[in-house]
Chain A
Amino acid sequence: MTANEAHFDYVLRLADDGLILSQRLGEWCGHAPALETDLSLTNIALDLIGQATLFLSYAGEMEGKGRDADKLAFHRDVTKYRNCLLVEQPNGDFGRTIARQFIFSTYQYALYQQLSSSTDRRLAEIAAKALKETTYHAELAAEWVVRLGDGTEESNRRLKDGFEWCWRFVEELFVTEPGDAALVSAGIAVDAAKLRPAFDAVLAATFAEATLPLPKFPRPVTGGRKGHHSEHLGHLLAEMQFLPRAYPDAVW
């Protein structure tokens, strides 16, 4: 993999996490437990899709093959997607969705904090802007973790189940890929492993307030960053990509 390919691959990862999670969150539109949560989840989706568009446009320019953000989002097959496995998992119930959101937004907050001082100016600018949005997401998710965890027996159980389901995908967030070392030493990419302490600190504090036990550590599942996805992503893409693939020149 050339340096440019590794750089492109890294930006795709940043883009695809947000793009796929926003598609998942969009599934809650009109189905969330209350109007306020419906608004919250879809607004988070909107922020994530905006961030993904910025990253994808940049990736397309870097690649130099004439692919724009839409082309990369709608005309790329499942094995070419670089998102982590966590974000492609089905929503489950509201408890699982909140568990997933808390894990992801806490991770993304730590990531953007570091990325906003990247030597890649474009990445730094996108991260600085996105950090403000993600602050809001992380806060909201943490509040819901406390509310559900320290709520009724039922809400506590569902949230705990949600975290147990999601936990196998946490490890992958902090894994570095072979092409990363050069990018990290050039100050372009963030060393994912170094984000773990900040993540663990927020997790411990929030779990204590939510009266939740820390999740047990099941065998981690990884592979998303290499394009080895669960079957769920193919179904998600089939829905997300249908229109631009069936009607390639459609405009509105």
Chain B
Amino acid sequence: MDVLSHVPDPEIPVVSVVDLGIVRDVRENPPSVVITTTYSGCPATQVIQSDIRKALDDAAFADVKIEVALSPPWTSDWITEDGRKKLHDYGIAPPPKGIGAPGLKNAQAATCPRCGSIKTREISRFGSTPCKALWQCETCREPFDRFKCH
């Protein structure tokens, strides 16, 4: 797990695959790493697998199998506290926790990661990656990414 916590997400390198909750389990017998995907079509999926493989190889864990699990489906609730802080410091508003299923129109206003204002609005439901939406702060006027509740 320690090795994996240094594997950055290819799209948001400030957080690791462990921070995002992509690594689900590390098993000893037989040695394997269980990962999941955030969104079905996330283009980073293959890169994540090869990055994990390389990190394992570099740490001399050559015989570890990587398994991809579909269930239970990934949720943004699995992003760690540490991961949320890193996202915030990087300028991405972390998703509110405990929302669970989407379909809530992401109604809860995001907090601006720059000035802390809660007077914010959604500009675009979809953003630069499947996991983010575009928001804007009404107070400091800065646009920012928000990690979607999922």
The reply to whether B71 and A46 form a contact with Cβ atoms under 8 Å apart is: no
The A interface is mostly helix, strand or loop, or mixed, namely helix
Cα A126 to Cα B68 with chains together (Å)? 12
Q: Write out the residue numbers on chain A whose beta carbons fall within 8 Å of the beta carbon of B73.
A: 125, 128-129, 132
The reply to whether B41 and A49 form a contact with Cβ atoms under 8 Å apart is: yes
A135 touches which of B43, B103, B124, B134 (Cβ 8 Å): B103
The reply to whether B42 and A125 form a contact with Cβ atoms under 8 Å apart is: no
The reply to whether A129 and B102 form a contact with Cβ atoms under 8 Å apart is: no
The reply to whether B40 and A130 form a contact with Cβ atoms under 8 Å apart is: yes
Judge whether B127 is part of the interface by a CB distance below 8 angstroms: yes
Judge whether A43 is part of the interface by a CB distance below 8 angstroms: yes
Q: Write out the residue numbers on chain A whose beta carbons fall within 8 Å of the beta carbon of B71.
A: 124-125, 128-129
A43 touches which of B37, B70, B130, B150 (Cβ 8 Å): B130
Q: Write out the residue numbers on chain A whose beta carbons fall within 8 Å of the beta carbon of B123.
A: 36
A50 touches which of B41, B72, B105, B128 (Cβ 8 Å): B41
Shortest beta-carbon distance from A36 to chain B in Å:
4
Range for the number of chain A residues in contact with chain B: 20 to 34
Judge whether B101 is part of the interface by a CB distance below 8 angstroms: yes
The reply to whether B125 and A140 form a contact with Cβ atoms under 8 Å apart is: yes
Which among B39, B43, B126, B127 has the highest number of chain A CB atoms within 10 Å?
Answer: B126
B39 touches which of A35, A45, A50, A126 (Cβ 8 Å): A50
A132 touches which of B42, B101, B124, B128 (Cβ 8 Å): B101
Known: A40-B124, A50-B42, A136-B125. A129 touches B70 (CB 8 A): yes
Chain A, residues 94-136, CB within 8 Å of chain B (1/0): the string is 0000000000000000000000000000101110111011011
The reply to whether B41 and A39 form a contact with Cβ atoms under 8 Å apart is: no
The reply to whether A39 and B127 form a contact with Cβ atoms under 8 Å apart is: yes
B126 touches which of A40, A128, A135 (Cβ 8 Å): A40
Judge whether A89 is part of the interface by a CB distance below 8 angstroms: no
The reply to whether B126 and A54 form a contact with Cβ atoms under 8 Å apart is: no
User: Using a CB-CB cutoff of 8 Å, which residues 65-107 of chain B contact chain A?
Assistant: 70-75, 101-103, 105
Shortest beta-carbon distance from A60 to chain B in Å:
16
The reply to whether A135 and B102 form a contact with Cβ atoms under 8 Å apart is: yes
Q: Write out the residue numbers on chain B whose beta carbons fall within 8 Å of the beta carbon of A132.
A: 73, 75, 101-102, 150
Q: Write out the residue numbers on chain A whose beta carbons fall within 8 Å of the beta carbon of B125.
A: 36, 40, 136, 139-140
- A-B contacts, 30 listed (Cβ < 8 Å): A36-B124, A36-B126, A36-B134, A39-B124, A39-B126, A39-B127, A39-B128, A40-B125, A40-B126, A46-B41, A47-B39, A47-B41, A47-B130, A48-B41, A50-B37, A50-B41, A53-B41, A54-B70, A125-B73, A126-B40, A126-B70, A128-B71, A129-B71, A129-B73, A132-B75, A132-B101, A132-B150, A133-B39, A135-B102, A136-B125
Besides the contacts A39-B124, A125-B73, A126-B40, what 19 more A-B pairs have beta carbons closer than 8 Å?
A39-B126, A39-B128, A40-B124, A40-B125, A44-B126, A45-B41, A46-B39, A46-B41, A46-B130, A48-B41, A50-B40, A51-B40, A53-B40, A53-B41, A122-B70, A129-B74, A132-B75, A135-B103, A139-B125
